[in-house]
A and B are shown apart, each in its own frame.
Chain A
Amino acid sequence: MDWQRLLVSYAVGFVLLNVLLGLMAYMTWFERRVLARMQHRVGPNRTGPFGLLQPIADGVKLLAKEDIVPANADRLVFLVAPLLSFALAPLGAAVIPFGETLHLFGLEIPLLVADINVAVLYVLALGSIGVYGIILGGYASGNRYSLLGALRSTAQVISYELVLGLSLVGVFILAGSLSLQDILREQQRALVIGSLTLPNWYILSQPLAFALFLIAAVAETNRAPFDLPEAETELVAGYFTEYSGFRFSFYFLAEYINMIVVSLLAATLFLGGIDGPFVDGVWWLALKALFFLFFYVWLRATLPRFRYDQLMGLAWKVLLPLALLNIGLTGLVRLWGIGAL
């Protein structure tokens, strides 16, 4: 039966990958439309109804562009780096549960690609490797702006990776597991406080961790107000200044897929994932993730950009102590069983 399960996993993974790529394309449309509305503009509305064909037009355009390699670039690294970024981005979605196990044609189809017992660590590790794409790309471009962007990115990811990881420790302590499916199951129970019945979502028991996770996730995906590696007004385009055509779009795709994966992760870890009123299902997950994606766009429309040293200061002087404090408090609560939830 093992080969059967493997096959099912492959099939689910294939579907997921395609859905993710489609979502990513429409994420660009969504961002442009929402951003335009926030800025008194119209946004793309010429290609297809409501500009819905715009992502396809963009894709075709990018494919048709010349693939330029600068003369003083480190050729091999320059060509491979965007692929690295892009290839690693969707892998994070593999551990996110999209629903209860389906029973179809006598087959057991779990609606997640891989139930790893260290799922969250796996996602964090992917994030750390993904940054290599940025660093190598920036370094190999032979451009000083790219180099500075890559350096910023390294520093940023290292700092915020810590915060991201530590903010999740509280959740692990409560759930007693690193597997996303276990964390999800914990959250699907009802939380009864007196006459009040609430979902046992970790946003309620871990609000500080949620806030920290959200901030760190924005930084981790290089989005405004932490978009320093690609700070357009300082570093032209940061690490991908020299990239053109489809190699440029690989970075672009990676960024958006990362956003989607992080949103799915946040929804699963803190907002109960597929859990929701009426019927549990993937639609709740989608709705919650959409809320986070909207939040990303909203931030971009509203906030100025941090300065490099302030970004570091925020991570090390504010967020990290808070994350440690949160772990300590959660541990104490767990130890003394005050919130034996």
Chain B
Amino acid sequence: MIDFSQPTPVILSEVRQLTPTRRELVLNMGPQHPSTHGVLRVRLTLEGETVIACDPVIGYLHRGVEKLGESHRYAQFVPWTDRTDYVAAPSNNLGYVLAVEKLCGLQAPERAQYWRMIMAELARLASHLVWLGTHALDIGALSVSLYTFRDRELILDIFEKFCGARLTTNMMEIGGFSREIPPDLPEMVREFCRYFPKAIRQYEDLLTENPIWLARTKGVGIIEPEVAINYGLTGACLRGSGVNYDVRKAMPYLLYDRVEFDVPLGTHGDVYDRYLVRIEEMRQSIRIIEQCLEQVPTDGPLMAYESQYVIPPHKNVMTTAEDMQRHFIWVIKGFSPPKGEVYHAVEHSKGELGYYIVSDGSPIPYRLRIRSPDFVNLQSLPYMAQGAMLADIVALIGTIDIVLGSVDR
């Protein structure tokens, strides 16, 4: 039981700050700093260049997204999910709509599911490209970031073609997709899949066997498998330590059980292994996209219109009375899913992204909780930073792959 009459316990370095020994230097890194990936603040206690304590301080980008979810109707919250992890917006959409669909007991049509997979994998690639670029930039490899951003443009072009937006896409809806797939989109994605492996080779040429890159990443920030599990890490941070857990394999959602792909695992759990894991994940994503493009039906519905929770198609609204009424209710009042609580996790580019929704039967969620992978993964920073050098801190922040919008929510 927490005793609220007592003052909140201070964190370690605040105690340190009160009694500084002469050899220690407290360095405040962030929230305005070139390589804390946004507004992360890290309070470092240094002895020379060696870090003896490291406290991440978060909350500078807190917008109360979860609370907003509890005051918006279910369908209105989808755009907010874009703004949590803004570099992989479709994946966030996916996590949320799947959770709501699970709550309502509806399922998107097969074609929509395939396209959701394609878009989610493209989002993973876009996110990994941002990660690779900024991570390399933090360690000092200047050009890689420009190459990755060049290739990310192609993905954003695909998003733009698909839904009109590039960053905060808001592309998925509860029940499927509301817009038809543009006819030349599959070819565009295929073109990208043909091109992209070459680009990965280019990044690898610059980094994978570069002696300086190896020196900066090998043996740095080691997380043992047990520690990784205890911290609740997911995604590449966990798999880099050799723990085989990928939500796509462990609890397949969408149609991930119909495609073949490998889950790359690291052996040492250091920064370099996590780098290799993510590079390989990019290749696997391309594999998944290619298989999806082969299997996806060329036509068929994209929205589960038969469900009572889904907005009726526009065509029917104009012609039938019931659908017009339903449409009116849906727009004015929203839909009311059954009572209950639901948790659905997807494999986001950063780890397990889960949405937990408690429904009291009203059109507004009673409680909405986002288990964002970055927030959980960020906890491991002080552990990894033990005995690290100052320059390693930026490599460690990079290797966790955080987006502050998602950490703070």
B392 / chain A contacts, CB cutoff of 8 Å: 307
* Chain B stretch 133-186: residues in CB contact (< 8 A) with chain A: 136-143, 146-147, 150
Question: Would you list 6 pairs from A and B whose C-beta atoms are within 8 A, ordered by A residue?
Answer: A35-B142, A148-B390, A224-B140, A301-B143, A307-B392, A310-B216
Q: A224-B142, A234-B390 are in contact. Are A306 and B35 (CB under 8 A)?
A: no
Contact assessment for B141 and A307 in the assembled complex, using a CB-CB cutoff below 8 Å: no
Q: A40-B150, A148-B49, A302-B206 are in contact. Are A308 and B143 (CB under 8 A)?
A: no
Report A233 CB to chain B, min CB distance, Å.
4
* Chain A stretch 281-335: residues in CB contact (< 8 A) with chain B: 300-310
Contact assessment for A306 and B212 in the assembled complex, using a CB-CB cutoff below 8 Å: yes
B140 / chain A contacts, CB cutoff of 8 Å: 224-225, 227, 231, 233, 303-306
8 tightest Cβ-Cβ pairs between the two chains A and B = A305-B140, A233-B35, A39-B146, A304-B141, A304-B140, A304-B139, A307-B391, A233-B138
Partner of B391, one of A41, A224, A305: A305
Interface bits A231-242 vs B (CB < 8 Å: 1, else 0): 111101000000
Contact assessment for A144 and B27 in the assembled complex, using a CB-CB cutoff below 8 Å: yes
A35 / chain B contacts, CB cutoff of 8 Å: 142
> How many B residues have CB within 8 A of the partner chain?
31
Q: A307-B216, A308-B389 are in contact. Are A301 and B34 (CB under 8 A)?
A: no
Alpha-carbon distance A80/B30, docked complex (angstroms): 29
Alpha-carbon distance A233/B391, docked complex (angstroms): 9
Q: A305-B391, A307-B215 are in contact. List 7 more A-B contacts (CB 8 A).
A: A38-B143, A40-B146, A145-B27, A225-B212, A232-B34, A234-B35, A236-B33
Alpha-carbon distance A228/B140, docked complex (angstroms): 10
Query: For residue B139, which residue of chain A has the nearest CB?
Result: A304
A41 / chain B contacts, CB cutoff of 8 Å: 146
A38 / chain B contacts, CB cutoff of 8 Å: 143
Contact assessment for B391 and A40 in the assembled complex, using a CB-CB cutoff below 8 Å: no
Contact assessment for A303 and B141 in the assembled complex, using a CB-CB cutoff below 8 Å: yes
Interface centre among A38, A148, A307, A310 (most CB of B within 10 A): A307
Query: For residue A314, which residue of chain B has the nearest CB?
Result: B215
Alpha-carbon distance A236/B140, docked complex (angstroms): 13
Partner of A304, one of B25, B49, B150, B213: B213
Contact assessment for B142 and A301 in the assembled complex, using a CB-CB cutoff below 8 Å: yes
Alpha-carbon distance A212/B203, docked complex (angstroms): 28
Contact assessment for A304 and B143 in the assembled complex, using a CB-CB cutoff below 8 Å: no
Instruction: Give chain B's interface residues, CB within 8 Å of chain A.
Output: 25, 27-28, 33-35, 49, 136-143, 146-147, 150, 206-207, 210, 212-213, 215-216, 389-394
Report A272 CB to chain B, min CB distance, Å.
31
Q: A144-B27, A309-B49 are in contact. Are A231 and B391 (CB under 8 A)?
A: yes
Contact assessment for B49 and A39 in the assembled complex, using a CB-CB cutoff below 8 Å: no
A40 / chain B contacts, CB cutoff of 8 Å: 146-147, 150
Contact assessment for A309 and B389 in the assembled complex, using a CB-CB cutoff below 8 Å: yes
Alpha-carbon distance A306/B392, docked complex (angstroms): 10
* Chain A stretch 39-98: residues in CB contact (< 8 A) with chain B: 39-41
* Chain A stretch 110-160: residues in CB contact (< 8 A) with chain B: 144-145, 148, 152
Query: For residue B210, which residue of chain A has the nearest CB?
Result: A304
B142 / chain A contacts, CB cutoff of 8 Å: 35, 39, 224, 300-301
B35 / chain A contacts, CB cutoff of 8 Å: 232-234
Interface centre among B140, B206, B393 (most CB of A within 10 A): B140
A308 / chain B contacts, CB cutoff of 8 Å: 49, 389-391
Query: For residue A309, which residue of chain B has the nearest CB?
Result: B389
Contact assessment for A233 and B137 in the assembled complex, using a CB-CB cutoff below 8 Å: yes
B391 / chain A contacts, CB cutoff of 8 Å: 228, 231, 234, 305, 307-308
Report A36 CB to chain B, min CB distance, Å.
9
* Chain A stretch 200-242: residues in CB contact (< 8 A) with chain B: 224-225, 227-228, 231-234, 236
Report B206 CB to chain A, min CB distance, Å.
7
Query: For residue B136, which residue of chain A has the nearest CB?
Result: A304
Contact assessment for B143 and A302 in the assembled complex, using a CB-CB cutoff below 8 Å: yes
Alpha-carbon distance A234/B390, docked complex (angstroms): 7
Report B387 CB to chain A, min CB distance, Å.
12
Report B214 CB to chain A, min CB distance, Å.
10
Contact assessment for B137 and A305 in the assembled complex, using a CB-CB cutoff below 8 Å: no
Query: For residue A152, which residue of chain B has the nearest CB?
Result: B49
* Chain A stretch 5-59: residues in CB contact (< 8 A) with chain B: 35, 38-41
Contact assessment for A233 and B147 in the assembled complex, using a CB-CB cutoff below 8 Å: no
Q: A233-B34, A233-B140 are in contact. Are A306 and B215 (CB under 8 A)?
A: yes
B213 / chain A contacts, CB cutoff of 8 Å: 304
Interface centre among A35, A152, A227, A302 (most CB of B within 10 A): A302
Query: For residue A307, which residue of chain B has the nearest CB?
Result: B391
Alpha-carbon distance A305/B207, docked complex (angstroms): 12
Q: A40-B146, A40-B147, A233-B140 are in contact. Are A307 and B389 (CB under 8 A)?
A: yes
B28 / chain A contacts, CB cutoff of 8 Å: 144
B206 / chain A contacts, CB cutoff of 8 Å: 302
Q: A39-B143, A41-B146, A234-B390 are in contact. Are A303 and B210 (CB under 8 A)?
A: yes
Contact assessment for A303 and B212 in the assembled complex, using a CB-CB cutoff below 8 Å: yes
B210 / chain A contacts, CB cutoff of 8 Å: 303-304
Alpha-carbon distance A170/B211, docked complex (angstroms): 28
Contact assessment for A304 and B27 in the assembled complex, using a CB-CB cutoff below 8 Å: no
Alpha-carbon distance A213/B137, docked complex (angstroms): 27
* Chain A stretch 156-190: residues in CB contact (< 8 A) with chain B: none
B207 / chain A contacts, CB cutoff of 8 Å: 304
Q: A39-B143, A41-B146 are in contact. Are A305 and B212 (CB under 8 A)?
A: yes
A301 / chain B contacts, CB cutoff of 8 Å: 142-143
Contact assessment for B394 and A234 in the assembled complex, using a CB-CB cutoff below 8 Å: yes
Query: For residue B48, which residue of chain A has the nearest CB?
Result: A151
Alpha-carbon distance A273/B299, docked complex (angstroms): 71
B147 / chain A contacts, CB cutoff of 8 Å: 39-40
Report A257 CB to chain B, min CB distance, Å.
22
Contact assessment for B141 and A310 in the assembled complex, using a CB-CB cutoff below 8 Å: no
Query: For residue A35, which residue of chain B has the nearest CB?
Result: B142
Report B349 CB to chain A, min CB distance, Å.
22
